[in-house]
Amino acid sequence: MNTIQKKLVESYTTLVMAEKMAIEEVPETKLIGGTDYPIRSEVEIEIANRTIAALG
């Protein structure tokens, strides 16, 4: 994951966890530098990681 993708995933994750955006509003993929990156699935994984860290 490159820096741009990482920042994008972190931003979307924060918005979804703060309930300012629904997970369905996160784009499935995003074109970054000519390459499609999976964003929604990465956001779902990051949400799960943050939830586990908070519970642990």
Residue 2 is classified by DSSP as -
* Residue 2 confidence (pLDDT): 83
Q: What is the mean pLDDT of residues 10-35?
A: 94
Contact 40, 23 (CB under 8 A): yes
Confidence of residue 32 (pLDDT cuts 50, 70, 90): confident
**Domains contained in the chain, number:** 1
From residue 41, alpha-carbon distances to 27, 28, 44, 46 in Å are 10, 7, 5, 9
**Res. 4: pLDDT tops 90:** no
Say what the pTM is. 0.89
Domain range enclosing 37: 3-55
Reply yes or no on whether the pLDDT at 12 is more than 80: yes
Q: How much is the pLDDT for 54?
A: 94
Span 25-49, average pLDDT: 93
